[in-house]
Amino acid sequence: MPSYRAPVKDWLFILHDLLHVEALRHLPGFAELTPDLTVAVIEAAAKFHEEVLHPINQSADAEGARFTDGQVRTPAGYREAWAAYRAAKWHCLSLAESLGGGGLPPVMSVPVSEMRAATGHSFSMYSSFCTPAASMLAALAPDWIRTHVVPRLSAGDWTATMGMTEPQAGTDLRQITTRATPQADGTWRINGRKIFISGGDHDLTDNIIHIVLAKVPDDDGRLPAGLSSVNVFLVSKRMIDPSTGALGERNGVYARSIEHKMGIEGSATCALDFEDAVAWRIAGAEGRGTAANMAPMFHLMNYARVGTAVSGIGYAEIARQNAADYARERRSGRAASASRASTDSADPIIAHADVRRLLLESAAFAEGARAGALRAALLQSIAQLEPEEAKREAAADMLEILTPVMKAFFTDRGFDAAVACQQVFGGHGYIKDYGVEQFVRNVRVAQIYEGANGIQAADLVHRKLFAHGGRPWRNFAGAIAGFIDRHRDDAALDRYTVPLDEALRRLDRVVASLRTTDPAQGGYAEVASYDVLTAVGIVYLGWIWAEVVAVVTGGAECQFLDENMRARKLVLADVWMQRQLPLVDSLCRRIESGNSGLLSIPAELI
Active-site residue numbers?
Answer: 450
Q: Should residue 448 be labelled a site residue for a copy of itself when binding is judged by CB under 8 A? A: yes
> Residue-wise over 299-326: b if at least 16 C-beta within 10 A, else e?
bbbbbbbbbbbbbbbbbbbbbbbbbbeb
Beta carbons of 241 and 111 less than 8 angstroms apart: no
Selected from 324, 382, 399, 421, the binder of a copy of itself by CB under 8 A is 324
- Which residues between 262 and 291 bind a copy of itself (CB under 8 A)? 262-263, 269
Q: Should residue 458 be labelled a site residue for a copy of itself when binding is judged by CB under 8 A? A: yes
Selected from 61, 367, 437, 508, the binder of a copy of itself by CB under 8 A is 437
Q: Which of 357, 360, 358, 352 is nearest to 336 (CA)?
A: 352
Residues 102 and 88: their CA atoms lie apart, in Å, by 9
Q: Should residue 582 be labelled a site residue for a copy of itself when binding is judged by CB under 8 A? A: yes
Q: Near a copy of itself by CB under 8 A, which window of 85-93, 393-401, 476-484, 574-582?
A: 574-582
- Which residues between 339 and 358 bind a copy of itself (CB under 8 A)? 339, 341, 345-346, 348, 350-358
Selected from 34, 181, 423, 513, the binder of a copy of itself by CB under 8 A is 423
**Closer to a copy of itself by Cβ: residue 397 or 459:** 459
Say how far residue 490 (Cα) sits from the centre of its chain.
35
Q: Should residue 217 be labelled a site residue for a copy of itself when binding is judged by CB under 8 A? A: no
**Closer to a copy of itself by Cβ: residue 225 or 291:** 225
Selected from 25, 47, 432, 463, the binder of a copy of itself by CB under 8 A is 432
- Which residues between 490 and 549 bind a copy of itself (CB under 8 A)? 520-523, 525-527, 529-530
> Residue 432, SS3?
coil
CB of 400 to a copy of itself, least distance (A): 19
Which residues is 414 bridged to in the sheet?
none
Residues 6+ apart with CB under 8 A from 546: 483, 484, 487, 493, 496, 497, 500, 573, 577
**Closer to a copy of itself by Cβ: residue 69 or 172:** 172
- Which residues between 126 and 165 bind a copy of itself (CB under 8 A)? 165
Residues 6+ apart with CB under 8 A from 488: 497
Cα 395 to Cα 19, 221, 278, 377, 381: the distances in Å are 14, 45, 40, 10, 9
Q: Should residue 443 be labelled a site residue for a copy of itself when binding is judged by CB under 8 A? A: no
Q: Should residue 224 be labelled a site residue for a copy of itself when binding is judged by CB under 8 A? A: no
CB of 502 to a copy of itself, least distance (A): 11
Q: Should residue 467 be labelled a site residue for a copy of itself when binding is judged by CB under 8 A? A: no
**Closer to a copy of itself by Cβ: residue 310 or 572:** 572
Burial class (CB in 10 A: 0-12, 13-18, 19+), 510: buried
Residues 6+ apart with CB under 8 A from 496: 542, 545, 546, 549, 573, 577
**Closer to a copy of itself by Cβ: residue 84 or 599:** 599
- Which residues between 7 and 26 bind a copy of itself (CB under 8 A)? none
CB of 597 to a copy of itself, least distance (A): 4
Residues 99 and 74: their CA atoms lie apart, in Å, by 28
Which residue type occupies 603? A
**Closer to a copy of itself by Cβ: residue 395 or 575:** 575
